[in-house]
Amino acid sequence: MLQKGDNVVATLRKLSALDDLAILYPKNRLLILPLDVTVPSDITDAFVKARETFGRVDVVFNNAGICLISEVEGMPEGDAKHLFDTNFWGAANVTKEAVATFRDFNEPHGGHLLQMSSRTTLQVVPGAAHYAAAKAGIYVSLTFARDATYTVAIAFESLSEGYAAELGPAWNIKITVIQPARFRTAFPWRNVLVPIHPASRALFRRGHQQVCTADA
User: Tens-of-pLDDT digits for all 216 residues of the chain?
Assistant: 999 999 999 999 999 999 999 999 999 999 999 999 999 999 999 999 999 999 999 999 998 887 777 777 777 888 888 888 888 889 889 999 999 999 999 999 999 999 887 766 666 566 566 666 666 665 543 333 333 222 222 333 457 878 888 899 999 999 988 877 777 776 666 666 666 767 666 665 555 444 444 443
Give residue 65's pLDDT: 81
Catalytic residue among 70, 135, 141, 158: 135
Q: Would you say residue 18 lies in a domain?
A: no
Residue 8 lies in a domain: no
pLDDT value of position 76:
81
In a domain, 6, yes or no: no
CA distance 189 to 206: 28
Structural domain includes residue 148: yes
Does any domain span residue 79?
yes
41 falls within a domain: yes
Which one of 16, 41, 96, 131 is the catalytic residue? 131
Between CA 213 and CA 216 the distance in angstroms is 9
Tell me how far apart the alpha carbons of residues 211 and 79 are, in angstroms, rounded to a whole number. 21
Q: Is the pTM of this model over 0.85?
A: no
Counting the structural domains of the chain, the total is 1
135 noted as active-site residue = yes
Residue 171 lies in domain: 35-212
Task: Give the β-pairing of 173-178 and 59-62.
Answer: unpaired
Q: What are all long-range contacts of 22-29, with beta carbons under 8 Å and residues at least 24 apart?
A: 27/53, 28/53, 29/2
Which residue in the list 70, 117, 118, 158 is annotated as catalytic?
Answer: 117
Residue 15 lies in a domain: no
Is 131 assigned a catalytic role?
Answer: yes
Res 117: pLDDT: 79
Give residue 202's pLDDT.
63
The CATH number of the domain holding residue 189 is: 3.40.50.720
Whole-number pLDDT of residue 75: 76
pLDDT at 74: 76
117 is catalytic: yes
Q: Is residue 128 part of a domain?
A: yes
